[in-house]
Structure 1
Amino acid sequence: MRTLRAVAATAAVTLLGAAVPYLTSTAAHAAGPVLRATVTQVSVWATGYGADVTVTNIGDAPATGWTVVFDLPTGTTVSSSWSAVRTQSGQRYTFTNVNWNGTVNPGASQTFGFNAAGIGTPANCTVNGASCTGGPAPSTSPSASASPSASPSPSTPPSPSPSPSPSGSPPPGGPVVDVATAAQLSSALGSVNPGTTIRLAPGTYRGSFATTRPGTAGSRITLTGPRTAILINDGPSGTGPSCPAPTAGWDSGYGLWLFDAPYWNLTGFTVAESKKGIVLDNSHHVTISGVYVHHTEDEGVHFRRSSADGVIRDSIVEYTGLVQPGYGEGVYLGSAGSNWACHGNSGGVDRSDRVQVLNNRIGPYVAAEHIDVKEGTFDGVIRGNTFDGRGISGQNSADSWIDVKGIGYLIENNTGTFAAPGTFVNGYETHNPATTPSFLNGCGNIWRSNTSNLGGIGQYAIRITSTSKCPGNLNVVYASNTVTNAVTGLTNIAVTP
């Protein structure tokens, strides 16, 4: 051994189906805050789903707190939640803001999320006592109302959960393959069919774990297990091809490798002590939920070779870059233009577009950027994450939580801190590398409601490298972003109210 070396619906589906027409109507003018709330699925598995709830202020004064209440039908429960305080009375769930996301400025929004065990969707939704979609508060049905003896139960902590259910896997709805050894896991990865769940028993699995088996949009493949199911790759070994691809006689060293394997769910387990953690190549619509990735030589999780429409949520990535600090990113989206010769499988470009990075803890001791957004990628969402900058190396220009070279990303409701040891310059940075084909790289990105503590070391919370290179598609920094302990300030460009 070396020396240290949940079905995704990334196109959001509104759950409050009957309320959709109200969401498009124009509300009457009100002198004060007016809140609306929408519930949107972002990942789905056989017997549950994950959802985001967005609270938007369409009024003309700030809201200083919010409470969202809804009922779930019998047979469906909330198994975990984040970025809100949750209580429960029968089938009625109440979510209130936490201290950092209670203020909702006019035209702005705040977001929390939950995982559901069961397929029932919310009903009778209210926000601060009014209907989530406008109009009077809905009346509750007798079956959904709480019994008089029911008492509220406290929420689980808003930090990432290791799995979408206490057991590490939601009850599967299709065929199940239970594995308990590395040989069984390798065999299952090599032969699994759409709709199947591979369920890991607790234990350590040492080996080269790769799959080229695709799921489908209607029959995803799931690999699930508890956090105590640990995948370790003691490679690499052998001589690989000029561009990485599964090859007989060559071990990539990746902890888990999906190659040409779209429509997978990866939930709950751990990947550790490998060259890279989880690598996706041409594997679109993959949802990574509640995993723990740590102690990798290079990056923790990599969406590569046009692995678009993916999600990583409620996960922990820490202790990366143990051998190559400058290549120890926590989450890596796309590929550098210099690597498109290998990974540019979409018109010569790595189009790992529309990836969502949601409610994860990244760091400490992530040696490079916590999230590296590469050129030529578009329209991702980075929301609700916690960045711990301790241990960032400064090597290979890695001196910020996020480096954005992509286009059209929404970066909101994240919390970042920095403290020694480490090399730190700015919280968020943009860069504008030239590529062939040409894009307005590092442009059109939006920062909103992010909280930054630069530890008395960092210069700007958000530093925009260039405006002249983004004609007609400028980066936008909203006034809802806050910074403390900055050497210079919030940002180096004009702030948008």
Structure 2
Amino acid sequence: MSPKKTCAAAIALVIASQWTPAAQAATVNVTTAAQLKAALASATPGTTISLAAGTYRGSFVTQKAGTSAQPITLTGPAGAVLINDGPAGDPPDCPAPAPGYDSGYGLWLVDAPYWNLTGFTVVESKKGIVADNSHHTVIDRVTVRKTDEEGVHFRKSSADSIIRNSTVTDTGLVQIGFGEGVYIGSAESNWECHGNSGGVDRSDRVQVLNNTIGPNVTAEHVDVKEGTQKGVIRGNTFNGKGISGQHSADSWVDVKGSGYLLENNTGTFSKPGTLANGYETHQITGGASGCGNTWKNNRSDVGGSGEYAIKITTLSQCASNPNVVHASNTVAGAKKGLTNAKVTP
């Protein structure tokens, strides 16, 4: 072999020995609850945890982080069903994994950014899926149903996350007024626990895309909390049958954050249940809270129950940063019409 070819071969060997592509990351096949717990506890960037069809009972929590280049994936068919029969043990002052404590959550991500959750089902748990300080969580084609409280919660600054193509039904079976379908951020009263960005829960830029939420979601289908901003709620189907009206749970979407875009959603309502308005805004903390949000091309049928498709309760508070309701929105079955705000072409 010529010296030139020998040198090229040596360089290629060095490059090959140093290059570990994401495609070579481990795939862990799981068939039991014990295996799932172990896989969640030992996952590393690029790991794929593949669930076989079957029922997985237990407390499923991870504190392992993926990366933008190598997220961690938990995937399985709809017939792979996670159930948490908890909670159990003495909870800490603020929710956090602790020896002997079971949160009761179907799946709990804690300090675990860059996870992809796809395909499987979570049922019969206190809460469905909770992401705490777990930014860039992607939930895709997941089903959550029959939860005591909310279905999916992006909490403790779990920013830049997405839930898409998923189904959430039958929430709030125990805590009716706390049975939100998708919950973004935290109430100001809980920032002491969940505010880790200057005291505010900054679960910003969360996207809720092309999901089916309801029926029998007993609180808001999407609850956007104060302090969050610049999310997108697009292409969803909201079935308001069964919404309770308790604890101010009387709309498909309540926007207390700022700078959200709500477009191309379809909302319906039929008895039993209580619907005051299809969409609402509220100002909780002052400033930008409940301001600067935009509605485009949403189709609403409030079933003869609600006053408006879109009620802006922050008209005077948001004079310098108004909420915008475009004429492309439509309404049927409203007692008072499309909106109480000025309609923008």
Q: TM tier, shorter chain?
A: over 0.9
Query: Which has a greater percent of helix?
Result: 2
Mapping for residues 331-346 of structure 1, pairs under 5 Å = 331-346=182-197
> Which residue does 1:224 correspond to in 2?
75
Corresponding pairs, count: 325
Q: Check conservation: 1:381, 1:409, Cα contact below 8 A.
A: yes
Q: Where does structure 2 lack aligned partners over 5 or more consecutive residues?
A: 1-20
Q: Secondary structure at the match of 2:177?
A: helix
Aligned to 1:467, which of 287, 312, 315?
315
Change (3 A) 1:462 1:251: same
Change (3 A) 1:173 1:390: farther
Q: Is the counterpart of residue 433 in structure 1 residue 281 in structure 2?
A: no
> Which residue does 2:217 correspond to in 1?
366
- Listed one character per residue, the Cα deviations across residues 118-149 of structure 1 (whole Å, up to 9, x for unaligned) are xxxxxxxxxxxxxxxxxxxxxxxxxxxxxxxx
- Listed one character per residue, the Cα deviations across residues 382-424 of structure 1 (whole Å, up to 9, x for unaligned) are 0000000000000100000000000000000000000001011
Task: State the 1:467 CA deviation.
Answer: 1.5
Separation (CA, whole Å) in 2 of partners of 1:495 and 1:314: 30
Separation (CA, whole Å) in 2 of partners of 1:466 and 1:257: 34
Task: State the 1:354 CA deviation.
Answer: 0.1
Q: What is the TM-score of this pair, normalised by structure 2?
A: 0.93
> In the alignment, residue 283 of structure 1 is paired with which amino acid?
S
> In the alignment, residue 338 of structure 1 is paired with which amino acid?
S
Q: Is the counterpart of residue 233 in structure 1 residue 84 in structure 2?
A: yes
Q: Check conservation: 1:306, 1:350, Cα contact below 8 A.
A: yes
Separation (CA, whole Å) in 2 of partners of 1:292 and 1:285: 19
Task: State the 1:240 CA deviation.
Answer: 1.0
> In the alignment, residue 249 of structure 1 is paired with which amino acid?
G
- Listed one character per residue, the Cα deviations across residues 24-46 of structure 1 (whole Å, up to 9, x for unaligned) are xxxxxxxxxxxxxxxxxxxxxx9
Mapping for residues 36-435 of structure 1, pairs under 5 Å = 174-434=25-285
Separation (CA, whole Å) in 2 of partners of 1:431 and 1:192: 41
Q: Check conservation: 1:459, 1:486, Cα contact below 8 A.
A: yes
Q: Is the counterpart of residue 476 in structure 1 residue 324 in structure 2?
A: yes
Separation (CA, whole Å) in 2 of partners of 1:339 and 1:394: 22
Separation (CA, whole Å) in 2 of partners of 1:320 and 1:418: 16
Aligned to 2:296, which of 437, 448, 451?
448
Q: Secondary structure at the match of 2:277?
A: coil
Task: State the 1:468 CA deviation.
Answer: 1.4
Separation (CA, whole Å) in 1 of partners of 2:271 and 2:25: 48
> In the alignment, residue 295 of structure 1 is paired with which amino acid?
K
Moved over 6 A (4+): none
Separation (CA, whole Å) in 2 of partners of 1:290 and 1:413: 19
Aligned to 1:487, which of 311, 318, 335?
335
> Which residue does 1:169 correspond to in 2?
none
Q: Secondary structure at the match of 2:124?
A: strand
Q: Check conservation: 1:376, 1:439, Cα contact below 8 A.
A: no
Separation (CA, whole Å) in 1 of partners of 2:56 and 2:314: 47
Task: State the 1:439 CA deviation.
Answer: 3.5
Task: State the 1:297 CA deviation.
Answer: 0.1
Q: Secondary structure at the match of 1:198?
A: strand
Separation (CA, whole Å) in 2 of partners of 1:244 and 1:469: 34
Q: Check conservation: 1:353, 1:380, Cα contact below 8 A.
A: yes
> In the alignment, residue 206 of structure 1 is paired with which amino acid?
R
Q: What is the TM-score of this pair, normalised by structure 1?
A: 0.65
Task: State the 1:173 CA deviation.
Answer: 6.2
Separation (CA, whole Å) in 1 of partners of 2:145 and 2:264: 24
Task: State the 1:174 CA deviation.
Answer: 3.0
Q: Check conservation: 1:350, 1:376, Cα contact below 8 A.
A: yes
Separation (CA, whole Å) in 2 of partners of 1:274 and 1:173: 35
